[in-house]
Structure 1
Amino acid sequence: MKGVTHFAIGALTAVETSLLIDKPLTPSGFIFACVFSLLPDIDEPNSKISTTLIKSSFSKAVYRYTLYLINMIIFFILIYINKNLVLNFIISFSLIILIENKLKHALLRKCLFSLLSIILSLSLYYIKAPFPFISLSIFLGVAPWLKHRGFTHSILGVMFIYYLLNEIEQLLGSEYIALYGTIGYLSHLFLGDIFTKMGIPIFYPIFNKKISLGFIKVGSFIGNLFEIIYIFIYFSIVIYTLKYKI
């Protein structure tokens, strides 16, 4: 499903959960629910949460200038080795085409995420930040290199996130961060992607088979229509629950 749909489902799930279990939905709990409803797609370099952390326009500019820089370096090296300018131009032009075919924008975005993770992790370590914060930072850098809809879309991934959120909750002394953050994460999997045609590998890495309860293809006309109707129905359920509670 699209990022905006996951975000809406995460927010609605947080509200519905609060109504059903009579646990107050704190501002921090609601924020964590919304943010972590997008987090499973961190393994996709061009997902909604990925483009929020690193804008596509920025990475595309870096990609373009990286190719320019590589081309210049190759050309100057060739000039140093060989004084034939025409031959150097032909060789450098051929090499840059080859490099451009190998160095894709998505690959560069993954490298940028890793670089961001390293800088953030070292900064947190330098200021002696608690380990859970450093672990989450490392996860943000590693996740884009993982197989899409693999670890992040499994029960094992949910357990890892709950552990980190529980530790962060205790450190911050803010209630229900772990509860609603995990609820938001779960909503992405079991109220979202499981209904797509691709499905999710719930028991990864023990079983890699993806489980699907639907036929929706993300981005298709039917898929977009389904997401709109789904959110409307879910919103209606939340309103009904709210009226029942009142």
Structure 2
Amino acid sequence: MKGTTHLTIGVAIGAAAAAYYPFTFKNAAIYLAVAAFSALSADLDGTSMLSSKLGKASKLLRSFVLWGSILLAGGLAYMYFMYDQMHPELAVASIILFLLGFMTKEGVIRNAMVSIIGGGLLYAGIRYEMNWLMGFGLFVAWVPWLKHRGMTHTLWAVLIWGAISRGLEAQLQLEGITMVATAGYLSHLLADTLTPSGVKWFYPLYKKSVKLPG
């Protein structure tokens, strides 16, 4: 299912919550943001609308590393042949950078960038003693390395997301956040269940995909 479809469903859930609960513009914005983000979060285990911008950044970073290593090697060669100066440590660094840029897939760099963001959220949660933010940070840091449509597309992930959102609701003192976030995340799995690949709802206990005619 396309990310735009998941986003549309999430926005619809947020709009329904804004209409159901006592309305203020601030509350409506929170409901919409939480529902939309939740509807997309299951796809943090791969290229998605949430990580696509980082995917572009990772391509630039990979190119920078590659060309940086080549320029460094060229500079070292110039110094050696023109001035008979040799810098072994820089030569080793240029080789390592070249291998890193050549061998590292852009997706790995993107995943690392997402994990760094998750690590920052985890640190903030620890510093400010916010358990839900610690859980959210761990989720963001961990899931990019999982197989796509694996653990993030399970009933267990829905329960974890619900626990995180419950903490957020307590933090904001805003009724309905848990319901909205859980519904948003759940909508992603339900929508993917309608696709030919289906969803492994009970993985790893039950490894077959559940599919519904769409």
Task: Tell me the TM-score normalized by structure 2.
Answer: 0.78
Residue 223 of structure 1 corresponds to none
Distance 1:135 1:73, change over 3 A: farther
Residue 4 of structure 1 corresponds to 4
Residue 48 of structure 2 corresponds to 47
Counterpart of 2:34 (choices 26, 32, 50) is 32
- 2:121 is equivalent to residue 120 of structure 1: yes
- Write the distance in 2 (CA, Å) between the matches of 1:73 and 1:203: 51
SS of residue in 2 equivalent to 1:37:
helix
**Would you say the 8 A contact 1:14–1:183 is kept in 2?**
no
- Write the distance in 2 (CA, Å) between the matches of 1:2 and 1:149: 13
Distance 1:14 1:124, change over 3 A: closer
- Write the distance in 2 (CA, Å) between the matches of 1:156 and 1:165: 14
Q: Which amino acid aligns with 1:62?
A: L
- Write the distance in 2 (CA, Å) between the matches of 1:171 and 1:14: 19
- 2:185 is equivalent to residue 178 of structure 1: no
Counterpart of 1:80 (choices 84, 87, 91) is 87
**Structure 2 stretches lacking a partner, 5+ long:** 81-85
**Would you say the 8 A contact 1:132–1:168 is kept in 2?**
yes
Distance 1:14 1:117, change over 3 A: closer
- 2:211 is equivalent to residue 212 of structure 1: yes
Residue 197 of structure 2 corresponds to 198
Q: Which amino acid aligns with 2:133?
A: F
Return the offset for 1:10. 2.1
**Would you say the 8 A contact 2:39–2:188 is kept in 1?**
yes
SS of residue in 2 equivalent to 1:183:
helix
Return the offset for 1:14. 4.7
Residue 165 of structure 1 corresponds to 165
Residue by residue over 1:82-115, the C-alpha shift from the partner in whole angstroms, topping out at 9 and shown as x without a partner, is: xxxxxx8xxx78x94x654521111111111122
Distance 1:130 1:198, change over 3 A: same
Corresponding pairs, count: 198
Residue 59 of structure 1 corresponds to 58
Residue 155 of structure 2 corresponds to 155
Residue by residue over 1:161-220, the C-alpha shift from the partner in whole angstroms, topping out at 9 and shown as x without a partner, is: 001101110122111000011111111111x111111111100121122112247xxxxx
Distance 1:17 1:213, change over 3 A: farther
Residue 238 of structure 1 corresponds to none
Return the offset for 1:31. 2.3
**Structure 1 stretches lacking a partner, 5+ long:** 82-87, 216-246
Runs of 4+ in 1 over 6 A off after TM superposition: none
Q: Which amino acid aligns with 1:109?
A: R
**Would you say the 8 A contact 1:29–1:175 is kept in 2?**
no
- Write the distance in 1 (CA, Å) between the matches of 2:107 and 2:171: 35
- Write the distance in 2 (CA, Å) between the matches of 1:207 and 1:112: 32
Q: How many percent identity over aligned positions?
A: 27
Residue by residue over 1:130-153, the C-alpha shift from the partner in whole angstroms, topping out at 9 and shown as x without a partner, is: 111121012111110011101111
Distance 1:69 1:117, change over 3 A: farther
Task: Tell me the TM-score normalized by structure 1.
Answer: 0.69
Residue 103 of structure 2 corresponds to 102
